C-alpha cells in the first residue's frame, strides 16, 4: 500500500497542487462539522478529552493559522471543494435550492485528483447538490467522485439516525424510524429518530475502511466528511427542548 497521508481540516487542496510529483501519496481528508480549534486538547482545551486527535496532532502537523472558508456549512464546503475565495464562490450561504448548489461547470478538487489518476470517494456529508431536478448536476458522482455514500442535503445530515442514506445516486434504506419536522428547510424536511438502530457515523467509518482496502494498490483521495459534533437543529423545532446532540444509541 502506498504512503497514506491523513489530514484533519487541512491539506487536500495543497496536495492537489503537488500531484505532478513522481510519487503520488494517498490522501484522506477528514472534515469535522461545527468543530472549532478550541474544542481540541492539542490546542489547550481542558474539559473534553480528545486523545486520538491530540495524538494525530503530536505525530503530524498542527496548524496555528488556518481558516475555514466561512462560518457556516455550505459556503465553507464550497471553498474547500473549489479552492476559491468565499467572495468568488457560487455558494455564499446556507440558502435554499440553487443558492446551495455548485455550478455544473465549476471544477472541484476531486476532479483534479481524477485527472491525476486517483480513485476518488466521498463518504459522509456533501451539502452542495441534491437529487432533485435542477440540482442533480452537482451530485458528488457528477463532480469528480467515483464513489459516494452519505447525505446529500445538509438538513438531512443533522439526523444521525435517518431512515435512508445515498449510495452514489441511489437511496439506501436504513432501519431507523424518523419523525419529520413540520417545516422544510432548504427544500428538505429534517427530523429526529424515534427508533435508533443504525448510527450513520459507524456506517461511514466502516465504509471508509472497506473503500480504502479495495483501493490500496492505487493512488486514492478519500474525503471523509463527518457531521459530528454538529447538533440536530431540527429536533429543537420539533420538541422545544433544545437541539438533539450526537449519541451512540
The model's pLDDT over 45-74, given as tens digits with 9 standing for 90+, comes to 999 999 999 999 999 989 888 888 888 888
For 120-155, the DSSP string reads: EEEEEE--S--SSTTTGGGSGGGTT-SEEEEESSHH
Lowest mean per-residue pLDDT among 17-26, 165-174, 175-184, 220-229:
17-26
CATH code, domain carrying 9: 3.40.720.10
Query: Looking at the 3D structure of the chain, how many domains does it have?
Result: 1
Higher-scoring residue by pLDDT: 147, 99: 147
Q: Which of 62-71, 76-85, 181-190 has the highest mean pLDDT?
A: 76-85
78 exposure class (CB count in 10 Å sphere: 0-12, 13-18, 19+): buried
Structure pTM?
A: 0.86
Q: Tell me the H-state helices in 83-123.
A: 109-115
Q: What is the mean pLDDT of the chain?
A: 85
In-domain check, residue 44: no
Taking CA atoms, 166 is separated from 82, 125, 169, 240, in Å, by 23, 10, 6, 29
Which domain does 87 fall in, by range? 4-31+67-239
Q: Quick one: average pLDDT of 153-158?
A: 88
In-domain check, residue 147: yes
Q: Is the pLDDT of residue 25 over 90?
A: yes
Q: Is the pLDDT of residue 4 over 70?
A: no
In-domain check, residue 203: yes
pLDDT in tens, 26-44: 999 999 998 888 999 999 9
In-domain check, residue 182: yes
Band of residue 11 on the pLDDT scale cut at 50, 70, 90: very low
Tell me which H or E stretch contains 158.
Answer: none
In-domain check, residue 180: yes
Which residue, among 170, 163, 117, has the nearest Cα to 148 in the 3D structure? 170
Which residue, among 50, 203, 58, has the nearest Cα to 123 in the 3D structure? 203
In-domain check, residue 52: no
Q: So what's the pLDDT on residue 8?
A: 47
Q: So what's the pLDDT on residue 246?
A: 60
Cell numbers that stand for 144 in this block = 469528480
Q: Is the pLDDT of residue 5 over 70?
A: no
Cell numbers that stand for 130 in this block = 441534491
In-domain check, residue 51: no
Q: Is the pLDDT of residue 162 over 50?
A: yes
Q: Quick one: average pLDDT of 161-166?
A: 96
In-domain check, residue 249: no
Segment 242-248 long-range contacts (CB within 8 Å, at least 24 positions apart)? 244/192, 246/160, 246/201, 247/160, 248/199
Amino acid at each position: 500500500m502506498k504512503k497514506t497521508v491523513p489530514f484533519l481540516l487541512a491539506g487536500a487542496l495543497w496536495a492537489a497542487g503537488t500531484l505532478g510529483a513522481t510519487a503520488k501519496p494517498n490522501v484522506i481528508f477528514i472534515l469535522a462539522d461545527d468543530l472549532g480549534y478550541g474544542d481540541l486538547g492539542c490546542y489547550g482545551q481542558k474539559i473534553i478529552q480528545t486523545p486520538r486527535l491530540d495524538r494525530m496532532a503530536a505525530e503530524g502537523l498542527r496548524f496555528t493559522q488556518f481558516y475555514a472558508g466561512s462560518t457556516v456549512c455550505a459556503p465553507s464546503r464550497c471553498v474547500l471543494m473549489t479552492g476559491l475565495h468565499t467572495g468568488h464562490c457560487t455558494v455564499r450561504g446556507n440558502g435554499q435550492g440553487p443558492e446551495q448548489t455548485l455550478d455544473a461547470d465549476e471544477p472541484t478538487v476531486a476532479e483534479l485528483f481524477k485527472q491525476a489518476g486517483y480513485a476518488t470517494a466521498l463518504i459522509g456529508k456533501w451539502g452542495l447538490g441534491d437529487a432533485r431536478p435542477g440540482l442533480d448536476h452537482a451530485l458528488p458522482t457528477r463532480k469528480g467522485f467515483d464513489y459516494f455514500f452519505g447525505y446529500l442535503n445538509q438538513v438531512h445530515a443533522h439526523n444521525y439516525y435517518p431512515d435512508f442514506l445515498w449510495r452514489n445516486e441511489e437511496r439506501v434504506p436504513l432501519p431507523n424510524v424518523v419523525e419529520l419536522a413540520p417545516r422544510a428547510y432548504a427544500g428538505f424536511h429534517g427530523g429526529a429518530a424515534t427508533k435508533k438502530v443504525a448510527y450513520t457515523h459507524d456506517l461511514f467509518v466502516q465504509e471508509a475502511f472497506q473503500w480504502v482496502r479495495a483501493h490500496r494498490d492505487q493512488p486514492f483521495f478519500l474525503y471523509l466528511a463527518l457531521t459530528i459534533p454538529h447538533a440536530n437543529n431540527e429536533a429543537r423545532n420539533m420538541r422545544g427542548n433544545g437541539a438533539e446532540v450526537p449519541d451512540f444509541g
